[in-house]
Amino acid sequence: MEIKDKIVLKEKQSIDCPVGKLVGTLQWKKAVDLDLWCFVKTKNGRSETIGFSNLGSLQSYPNIQLDKDAGVGDKAGDNEENIRFDTLEHIDHAFICANIYGKLSANFSTYDGAVIIKSKSTEFTVPLTSKAGGSWCIIAHLDTTGPTPQLRNINQPVDKRPTIDNLIAKNYSPKGSDGTFPPRERPRGFIAKLFGG
């Protein structure tokens, strides 16, 4: 790829993004085990999760693939993990997230990390800058539902693994809260009323 433009996104900034082949790379050097994840909602309503437990494939739907699990055992060095998108044409939402393995409430800004999203000619950098604590960080959002596809820098730590529906609804905790999603509404049927549940 011949990169002509390099753009660093500030927190909460959105920018037009191409829909062709993309590579999202999580890079860091410090001694920590970061894991790159992608939570996806396709145009036909399917939800998909790509991460070290499901690497995905460029040859099968939704045509997204993670290459490897780096930094295992809190290894320092030139760590990177790459998620490749064959196309965004059949995707409505793709959220790029990171998890800090084995640390419940870490500060992502202390780990010198960044996600770099490369298209054919442009490189978008989303640094991990949030100082709030959490074991997960919602880093960036690729949104193709509007007239122009958008890439947004989110940088929102949370304490629990997110779901694609929570992410689309922006139903994650605001900065300064405990970083957890609101609990699900419990059913209030006859059995619940009978036993006070």
CATH code of the domain in which 114 resides: 2.60.60.30
Phi-psi region of 81 (alpha: psi -120 to 50; beta: other; left: phi over 0): beta
Residue length of the chain: 197
Q: Kindly give the parts of the chain with pLDDT less than 70.
A: 1-3, 172-197
- Please, how many CA atoms are within 13 Å of residue 165, restricted to the half-sphere of its CB? 5
User: How many other CB atoms are found less than 10 A from the CB of residue 69?
Assistant: 16
According to DSSP, residue 48 is labeled E
**How do residues 123-139 score in pLDDT, each as one tens digit?**
999 999 988 888 899 99
Query: SS3 string of 100-146?
Result: ECCCCCEEHHHHCCEEEEECCCEEEEEECCCCCEECEEEEEEEECCC
Cβ-Cβ contacts under 8 Å for 178 (sequence gap 6 or more)? 159
According to DSSP, residue 186 is labeled P
Could you tell me the residue range of the domain that residue 145 belongs to? Answer: 5-195
Predicted confidence at residue 182, as pLDDT, reads: 39
Domain total of the chain: 1
**How do residues 98-124 score in pLDDT, each as one tens digit?**
998 877 777 888 888 999 999 888 999
Beta-strand pair 122-127/5-8: parallel
Cβ-Cβ contacts under 8 Å for 59 (sequence gap 6 or more)? none
Predicted confidence at residue 1, as pLDDT, reads: 52
- C-alpha to C-alpha distance for 186 and 178, rounded to whole angstroms: 21
- C-alpha to C-alpha distance for 96 and 69, rounded to whole angstroms: 15
How far the first Cα of the chain sits from its last, in Å, is: 57
Supply the pTM of this predicted model: 0.82
Q: How far is CA 186 from CA 148, 167, 168, 183, 191, in A?
A: 38, 20, 21, 9, 12
- Which of 173, 112, 162 lies closest to 136, judged by CA? 162
